[in-house]
Structure 1
């Protein structure tokens, strides 16, 4: 089969590799669509700590079952499916407590096992598989993964509900998904970013107000939006600039409000405005992963409650994947989500 193999930083080659064979309890999936994630870009640049080389990246994908083990009875060849991106142990305290996204021995597609920038991917036993509704395209279904990350942040961690005021910092795919979900929950939503074209997409996905932080006063606009009260919930989805954004969150959240950090790839350093944090009794929570959210995300997309299509700005063939990664890195041509289509 053809696959995009990452041999080292900035060394990705589309080449012939052996097609995997499903073993006991396993499925072979023919990939139809696989989106490029920011974590794929970090791996391509050699800055992702979980990646070993050589590796086939790709964890936001959908496809059709090509072959499967005889032990599997609930699926058949030809089924259109999406799968969870992680394999967890099922035995640790976190897994047993119903929080497998915190499993310490998680194995991820595209990082610790080969992913879906390939014609086929082997789905190991123990990973959940979900049938796709016929009305959903493969490209839309591939975005169930980032939508699920946002769902974990918005519903499980922030518990956004009707009447909340919510600020989402960062209009990347996770931030845009979080904004759409918060709006669907009945919240009033403000989204911030540094790029106007991203904020245009945020408006299409339901944001009530947008703020370009390079042009406007974030704190002033936020207080105006909330009638000087501050936001009930603030979701930080930027990641790379957290020494700035975490400080912003404590300035715009209300006294007794909640901050949820879902942004990734920071320098693992953020200065907290500790006086505001303490005196205003602000809460802060982390949010990690999307385990178990796929079926909900598929229903949200199928029903039209969430429209992920505005995020899809480019589709490419597998042989154009390096150019797709470069486009994301350089932010060429109003790029949001690039999907490799097979």
Structure 2
């Protein structure tokens, strides 16, 4: 099969690799689309020691099963493989499984390829009225869905009266904003510094978008979701959250800096680090997508897998207005 292989910092090769061989309990999936995530970009730039070259990246996958009795089943893929027997798994927090694996990290190759092998239990069936491109958004949106669920649980006030802010106009931040609305918070704003992307989000997604210099005038928020995770965005989250409010931190842009620990302590602000989603969160996200609670999901751009390197460089340069680029195996 063909795959886009990360070969070192800022280097990728579109080439022939061996087809994946499903293990017991797994099926072979013909990939339809795989989204480019911020974590893929970190690896591409050589900033993620968990993803050493050579490696097939990509974990936001939708496709069709082509092996076994389920052949022909259209699916979206939960890329997080958990053991099912540890304390975290048995308590319903399988995203914190001590033996977890995720595709695009060794030993599991990722979805920037023609085919992918996955456990049957990690698949959610896609209904006929949902396209493969829409289905590929389940993974990034599930990150925001999980973060919002945790933030609402921690909130002391009534969520129906809450104000919320999502930081970042990529798929993580946008997914969090859409999830906030789907989970009952109507007053939602989003910060996006890229003017072209901000216009796209405002007109295409119906999101109230602020530029960074508008934030101070907008007041304080009960919930702030940081979908970027750099010192500057953590500083913004620290400054914008109400006393007694909640910061949900998804972004992994950098590891340290930005939090106003003094204010968080003195004003009893809760800080929640969130990692991916539980299997139930993933299923709940897919259900919300399929029944229309998360909007039209038409904010993607598809590019051929063979042109993946160009897609990464365009994203890095800030030349992409849409929140998500999907790489599609060449015909």
TM-score above 0.5, yes or no: yes
Alignment of 1:176 with 2:174, yes or no, is yes
Between the aligned partners of 1:178 and 1:151, the Cα distance in structure 2 is 6
Query: In the alignment, is the contact (CA less than 8 A) between 1:58 and 1:116 conserved in 2?
Result: yes
Displacement after TM superposition at 1:91 (Å)? 2.8
Q: Can you give the 5+ residue segments of structure 2 that lack an aligned partner in the other structure?
A: none
Between the aligned partners of 2:283 and 2:201, the Cα distance in structure 1 is 24
Query: In the alignment, is the contact (CA less than 8 A) between 2:169 and 2:323 conserved in 1?
Result: no
Tell me which residue corresponds to 1:35.
Answer: 35
Tell me which residue corresponds to 2:328.
Answer: 341
Between the aligned partners of 2:224 and 2:185, the Cα distance in structure 1 is 15
Structure 1 residues 250, 40: CA separation in 2 closer, same or farther (over 3 Å shift)? closer
Q: Deviations over 1:284-335 (max 9, x none)?
A: 11111023123222222222211253431x2111111111111111122425
Alignment of 1:118 with 2:108, yes or no, is no
What aligned pairs does 1:238-257 form with structure 2 within 5 A after superposition?
238-239=228-229, 241=230, 243-257=231-245
Query: In the alignment, is the contact (CA less than 8 A) between 1:165 and 1:232 conserved in 2?
Result: yes
Structure 1 residues 308, 40: CA separation in 2 closer, same or farther (over 3 Å shift)? farther
Tell me which residue corresponds to 2:74.
Answer: 80
Between the aligned partners of 2:61 and 2:119, the Cα distance in structure 1 is 15
Tell me which residue corresponds to 1:227.
Answer: none
Alignment of 1:187 with 2:153, yes or no, is no
Between the aligned partners of 1:13 and 1:251, the Cα distance in structure 2 is 43
Question: 1:189 is paired with a residue of what secondary structure?
Answer: strand
Query: In the alignment, is the contact (CA less than 8 A) between 1:180 and 1:206 conserved in 2?
Result: no
Between the aligned partners of 1:41 and 1:249, the Cα distance in structure 2 is 23
Tell me which residue corresponds to 1:196.
Answer: 195
Q: Deviations over 1:68-93 (max 9, x none)?
A: 3xxxxxx6111101121111122332
Query: 109-118 or 302-311: which moved more?
Result: 302-311
Structure 1 residues 269, 23: CA separation in 2 closer, same or farther (over 3 Å shift)? closer
Between the aligned partners of 2:282 and 2:262, the Cα distance in structure 1 is 39
Question: 1:277 is paired with a residue of what secondary structure?
Answer: helix
Q: Deviations over 1:121-141 (max 9, x none)?
A: 11146x421111111110110
Structure 1 residues 315, 271: CA separation in 2 closer, same or farther (over 3 Å shift)? closer
Q: Can you give the 5+ residue segments of structure 1 that lack an aligned partner in the other structure?
A: 69-74, 224-229
Alignment of 1:234 with 2:232, yes or no, is no
Query: In the alignment, is the contact (CA less than 8 A) between 2:162 and 2:222 conserved in 1?
Result: yes
Query: In the alignment, is the contact (CA less than 8 A) between 2:151 and 2:246 conserved in 1?
Result: no
Q: Deviations over 1:235-275 (max 9, x none)?
A: 11121x2x222222232222211111111121x11243233
Between the aligned partners of 2:295 and 2:90, the Cα distance in structure 1 is 34
Alignment of 1:92 with 2:86, yes or no, is yes
Two-structure CA RMSD over aligned residues (Å): 1.9
The number of aligned residues is 321
Displacement after TM superposition at 1:206 (Å)? 3.9
Tell me which residue corresponds to 2:271.
Answer: 284
Between the aligned partners of 1:202 and 1:162, the Cα distance in structure 2 is 24
Structure 1 residues 133, 177: CA separation in 2 closer, same or farther (over 3 Å shift)? same
Question: 2:52 is paired with a residue of what secondary structure?
Answer: coil
Query: In the alignment, is the contact (CA less than 8 A) between 1:158 and 1:260 conserved in 2?
Result: no
Tell me which residue corresponds to 1:226.
Answer: none
Between the aligned partners of 1:12 and 1:337, the Cα distance in structure 2 is 19
Displacement after TM superposition at 1:23 (Å)? 3.0
Query: 256-265 or 191-200: which moved more?
Result: 191-200
Structure 1 residues 308, 7: CA separation in 2 closer, same or farther (over 3 Å shift)? farther
Tell me which residue corresponds to 1:222.
Answer: 218
Tell me which residue corresponds to 1:7.
Answer: 7
What aligned pairs does 1:56-71 form with structure 2 within 5 A after superposition?
56-68=56-68
Structure 1 residues 10, 278: CA separation in 2 closer, same or farther (over 3 Å shift)? closer
Q: What TM-score results when the alignment is normalised by the length of structure 1?
A: 0.88
Query: In the alignment, is the contact (CA less than 8 A) between 2:151 and 2:223 conserved in 1?
Result: no
